Amino acid sequence: MFRKFYLLYGLLTLSTAAFGQYRGWSLDTINQLKNVPKSVRDNPGSYRSVYGGYHHYTGGK
Amino acid sequence: MSAGAPPLSGPPKPQAKALNCPKCGAAIVLRSFGQAETVVCGSCHSILDAKDPSLAILQQFEIKTSDIRPLIPLGTRGKLRGTDYEVIGFQRRSTKVDGITYCWHEYVLFNPYKGVRYLSEYNGHWNDISICKTLPSVDSAFLNSPGASADYLGESYKHFQTSDANTDFVLGEFPWQVRVGEHAAVTDFVHPPRVLSSEKLDKEVTWSIGEYMYGQEIWDAFKLPGTPPEPMGVYENQPSPVTTSVTRIWVAFAAFAVFLLGLMAGFNMRAKKEPVFHETYHYNRAESKGEASFVTDVFELTGHPSTVEVKTHAPVDNHWIYVNYALINQDTEQAWDFGREVSYYHGYDSDGSWSEGQQNDAVVIASVPPGHYYLRIEPEADASLPGIPYTVDVTHDVPVFGIYGIAFLALLMPVVIISFRAYTFERSRWSESDHPPMQLSSMSGGSEDDE
């Protein structure tokens, strides 16, 4: 019984991996936005990244 | 035949023969129609010669405890595996191993056409036992070695235990000359769910074959009230809950892993890995006091929705640079917003040299549709860093190997769980044997075939 389940499970896992690779899945989490104003092209300062303005790494061990 | 008498339907029902105990006068019921060798008086505990018309007394014993009561009362009838049986005898037996006494119960079942068979019960574990029809072959030279085995009807049974069994208590009828206090050398060989047992009493050896039964099957067969006692621990021939062959599952896993490797190689070869953008910029703190952000030239992504990798390289040395990115689709106004840090620190302390971070960073954006794109870039850097060059590379349609890593772990996880379950179960089983797990060379669990 488990063997049948595992064969099915394995095929599903491989199919998912293949589908994910084909569709371009990634393990990185990226924030997706819609309706970014066209003016950004001419005026980059009109858009502010949600990640900007806060810090980051300050130094080593 | 008289006209008024109704005709008899079917064979006549067997009737028990009623006698009296010559010792105490209590009623003795003989249910096995002359097949019994001995019968025990339930009142005075005299073992009587059932073949003797006057029921000669063979032995009288005293019961040490009053809590010995058969779970299936004598005289109970039931259908066991398609055959009607009546419980005619009961005995309690025990063995002493390492100073600990283990007790179990045996029931004698009788059918006038099929003869006698037995049920044994130990801590809620039941076995349906019958006498072997042919003599098993066993290599007695290696009887107590871990690899000892016996063959019976084409199946190999592994040696489990050899011990002395003592008869403590008897009740009802027995097709042999039973005595309380008699010792027999019992050797068990197992091939779950079966157990092959030899019982040596004086010079006589009796081989029997037992098959594990669940308490509920017994309760259903004899229509007993209540519920059967819960099984405790793992019994010697108890079927493993892992009914699948663990070896076969590992073989299936290996096949899947090879297929996954092939999938990875195939997609890796098929991936375009197309460089669509490459530029080196220079971060200058003095200049960035104004508007630091800027946009790149437009580049085109073609084909189906796929991955986009953005790599950042900066020759930082005990500094950091942080780049805010937005990958923007010029036509649809759709954007992917992310920030990446490149930092590299190193030095010496009391533990020796150390380093953290690296001068490269890469991120993969998932499922980016084809179209015309540009990057909005806004760099920030360590306050102590006056300026630094950094390079941005964009590659379209790159393979993500992490997906295969996750798939590999997903394939591995059930195999590990099932193997662990099989291992722990077999370990519990064999820890009660003459060959505890420390001496066990191979795990016998999971050798059962699927279904």
Q: Are residues B189 and B80 in the same domain?
A: yes
Domain boundary among B371, B398, B425: B398
pLDDT reading at B448 higher than 50: no
The per-residue pLDDT for B291 is: 77
Instruction: Confirm whether B149 is domain-assigned.
Output: yes
pLDDT reading at B45 higher than 90: no
Rounded to the nearest angstrom, the minimum Cα separation between B387 and chain A is 17
Residues of A in contact with B356 (CB under 8 A): 60-61
Domain boundary among B162, B189, B222: B222
Mean pLDDT of B403-423: 95
The per-residue pLDDT for B98 is: 81
Closest residue in A to B383 (Cα–Cα): A58
Q: Say which range, A46-55, B52-61, B197-206, B248-257, has the weakest mean pLDDT.
A: A46-55
Using CB atoms, pick whichever of A27, A36, A49 lies closest to residue B339.
A49
Q: Are residues B378 and B283 in the same domain?
A: yes
- Give B144's pLDDT tier (boundaries 50, 70, 90): low
Q: Are residues B43 and B144 in the same domain?
A: yes
CB contact under 8 A, A6 and B397: no
pLDDT reading at A61 higher than 70: no
Domain boundary among B383, B398, B413: B398
The per-residue pLDDT for B2 is: 41
Residues of B in contact with A50 (CB under 8 A): 337
The per-residue pLDDT for B96 is: 87
Q: Are residues B99 and B41 in the same domain?
A: yes
Q: Are residues B210 and B279 in the same domain?
A: no
- The whole-angstrom separation of Cα B195 and Cα B390 is 74
Residues of A in contact with B291 (CB under 8 A): 44-45
| Strand runs labelled E in B228-359 | 274-284, 294-295, 299-301, 306-313, 319-329, 335-349, 352-358
B250 and chain A in contact, CB less than 8 A: no
Residues of A in contact with B345 (CB under 8 A): 59-61
CB contact under 8 A, A30 and B346: no
- The whole-angstrom separation of Cα B316 and Cα B380 is 13
CATH of the domain at B286: 2.60.120.380
Residues of A in contact with B335 (CB under 8 A): 32-34, 36
Rounded to the nearest angstrom, the minimum Cα separation between B90 and chain A is 39
Closest residue in A to B268 (Cα–Cα): A21
The answer to whether B369 touches A40, Cβ cutoff 8 Å, is no
- Whole-number mean pLDDT of chain B? 88
- Give B442's pLDDT tier (boundaries 50, 70, 90): very low
Residues of B in contact with A13 (CB under 8 A): 256, 407, 410-411
pLDDT reading at B296 higher than 60: yes
Q: Say which range, A41-45, B182-186, B223-227, B408-412, has the weakest mean pLDDT.
A: A41-45
Query: Could you tell me which residues come within 8 angstroms of residue B158 by beta carbon, excluding any fewer than 6 positions away?
Result: B148, B149, B189, B190, B191, B444
pLDDT reading at A1 higher than 80: no
Mean pLDDT of B38-65: 82
Closest residue in B to A43 (Cα–Cα): B294
Question: In terms of pLDDT, which residue wins out, B226 or B290?
Answer: B226
- The whole-angstrom separation of Cα B137 and Cα B132 is 12
Instruction: Confirm whether B249 is domain-assigned.
Output: no
ipTM of the complex: 0.84
Instruction: Confirm whether B46 is domain-assigned.
Output: yes
The per-residue pLDDT for B412 is: 97
Closest residue in A to B340 (Cα–Cα): A51
Total domains in the fold of chain B: 2
Q: Are residues B279 and B218 in the same domain?
A: no
B449 and chain A in contact, CB less than 8 A: no
- Give A43's pLDDT tier (boundaries 50, 70, 90): confident
Using CB atoms, pick whichever of B294, B333, B345 lies closest to residue A44.
B294
Instruction: Confirm whether B262 is domain-assigned.
Output: no
Tell me the helix, strand and coil percentages in chain A, rounded to 5. Answer: 45, 5, 50
Query: Which residues constitute the domain of residue B195?
Result: 17-222
Instruction: Confirm whether B309 is domain-assigned.
Output: yes
Q: Are residues B216 and B292 in the same domain?
A: no
**How many A/B residue pairs have CB atoms within 8 Å?**
181
CB contact under 8 A, B368 and A24: yes
Query: Kind and range of the H or E element at B208?
Result: strand B204-213
Instruction: Confirm whether B207 is domain-assigned.
Output: yes
For chain B, what is the radius of gyration of the CA atoms? 40
Residues of B in contact with A56 (CB under 8 A): 320, 322, 341, 343, 380
Q: Are residues B149 and B280 in the same domain?
A: no
The per-residue pLDDT for B6 is: 47
Residues of A in contact with B325 (CB under 8 A): 49
Structure tokens that stand for A30 in this block: 């990226």
Q: Are residues B292 and B214 in the same domain?
A: no
- Give B57's pLDDT tier (boundaries 50, 70, 90): confident
One-character DSSP codes across B8-55: P-SSPPP-PEEEE-TTT--EEEE-STT--SEEE-TTT-EEEETTSTT-
Instruction: Confirm whether B61 is domain-assigned.
Output: yes
Question: In terms of pLDDT, which residue wins out, B230 or B51?
Answer: B230
Q: Are residues B187 and B277 in the same domain?
A: no
Q: Say which range, B35-49, B53-67, B82-96, B412-426, has the weakest mean pLDDT.
A: B53-67
Q: Are residues B67 and B194 in the same domain?
A: yes
- CB atoms < 10 A from the CB of B319, how many? 20
Strand partners, B198: B187, B207
Instruction: Confirm whether B167 is domain-assigned.
Output: yes
Helix (H, G, I), strand (E, B) or coil at B200: strand
Using CB atoms, pick whichever of A14, A22, A30 lies closest to residue B260.
A14
CB contact under 8 A, B263 and A45: no
Q: Are residues B39 and B101 in the same domain?
A: yes
The per-residue pLDDT for B353 is: 94
The per-residue pLDDT for B46 is: 87
Give me the long-range contacts of B44-52 (CB less than 8 A, separation at least 24): B46/B21, B46/B22, B47/B170, B47/B178, B47/B179, B47/B180, B48/B21, B48/B22, B50/B173
